[in-house]
Amino acid sequence: MKSQKMNLLVSLMIVTSLVAGCTQMSKPSIDASSQVIITTLPTATIVSSPSQAPTLRPMGTPTLVPTLPVDEVEKKFLEVLSSNGSCRLPCLWGITPGEENYQEAQAILSPFTSISGTLAGFLPEGGVISPNYTEDDLKLSTIVDFNIETTTGNRIVSRVGFKARGFQGDDNFIYDSALFGERMRAYMLPTILSEHGIPAAVLISTDGGYERGKNVPGFYVVLLYPEMGIMAAYTTYRQLDGGNVRGCLANAHVEIHLAPSGQPDAFAETLAQTQWKNLWPDPQDSLNWKHVETATSLTLEEFYEVFRQPTEMCLETPLILWPTPDN
């Protein structure tokens, strides 16, 4: 029992890294210090094209006994996904950083442990669940985790994380599943933009290597709303079209990190615990990350106008702007 508790504690301490780590094979490293000088404005085209997604095998120990039949829990899971628990970010499923306490967060998440993978449980520092749902040939894999403020006695939730990915076949990532996009509509790019407005920054990352196929992640778009306590990241595969790299976001995988609204310092502290730690509070163009205005011909406002409505259009960025992987 002691070793099980230790395994779960380790899982909770690294859950944010683990959430992101399964897709890191081809993800560019995040480096906000390397400066890139752009002498001409790159062109970007918005074109129609597809998108694709893997499975999660994390660590952890289930600690709660389910009280509802699995089919009822799955139904509730889909209902919560469709409405985000009838609340708006930075509230996730009824858990708002800076408002709900540990017991309230645990009560909301506990019912889903029966459809979670092995990454599910609760310790004094926080909790994590990983509900999975299979529909047709799509496996929808999610992770929700939270931490509490440990320096005070009120045990208020200090941060919430969410990640959703789609798999098909032999645990292959799928980024062009319309069913995934439909199930995840509450968290997709058009919903975030239409509900929260123009972000403080939109950053893009990809690389200049060869095309690696639809099951390999390689195109990333991050939205930053520090005053609202919201970061949303979208991952899809990269396509080559002449001298451009294309990423289609309609059914991209999504990762969200939430902090108390109105506390930009807390937002920065939250991101500092994730793979996105160098993107805020000083999101400069670097070797691996560039503002949408630098990577494309779109302004921040134009990006917002294009993608705040559901669209099959894609982003393109010049190949020459991006580093070429060693292998």
Write the pLDDT tens digit of every residue in 41-88. Answer: 333 333 333 333 333 333 333 344 447 899 999 999 999 999 999 999
| More reliable by pLDDT, 56 or 121 | 121
DSSP string, 236-272: EEEEEETTEEEEE-TT-EEEEEE--TT-HHHHHHHHT
- What's this model's pTM, rounded to 2 decimal places? 0.82
Whether 178 maps to a domain, the answer reads yes
260 belongs to a structural domain: yes
Q: Which residue has better confidence, 3 or 290?
A: 290
Residue 327 within a domain: no
The predicted structure's pLDDT at residue 16: 42
pLDDT for res 9: 45
Asked whether residue 322 carries a pLDDT value surpassing 60, the answer given is: yes
Residue 6, both tokens:
């230790």
SS3 of 119, please?
coil
Mean residue pLDDT across the chain: 84
CB crowding 226-252: b at 16 or more within 10 Å, else e: bebbbbbbbbbbbbeeeebbbbbbbbb
**Of 84, 89, 91, which is closest to residue 105 (Cα–Cα)?**
91
Q: Which two tokens stand for residue 162?
A: 């969410």
Is residue 326 one of the residues assigned to a domain? no
Write the pLDDT tens digit of every residue in 216-256: 999 999 999 999 999 999 999 999 999 999 999 999 999 99
Give me the numbers of helices (H) and strands (E) for the chain, helices first please: 8, 15
Evaluate whether residue 180 is within a structural domain.
yes
pLDDT value at 295 more than 80: yes
Per the structure, the complete domain to which residue 140 belongs is given by: 2-321
Length of the chain: 327
Cis preceding linkage at 66, omega within 30? no
- Residue 60 belongs to some domain of the structure: yes
Using 50, 70 and 90 to split pLDDT, how confident is the model at 153?
A: confident
How confident is the model at residue 216, as a pLDDT? Answer: 94
Cβ partners under 8 Å of residue 63, min gap 6: 8, 113, 120, 121, 122
Number of domains, the chain = 1
Tell whether 259 is covered by a domain: yes
Structure token digits, residue 226: 């520090």
Split at pLDDT 50, 70, 90, the class of 118 is confident
pLDDT at 17 over 70: no
Would 299 be classed as within a structural domain?
yes
The pLDDT assigned to 327 comes to 55
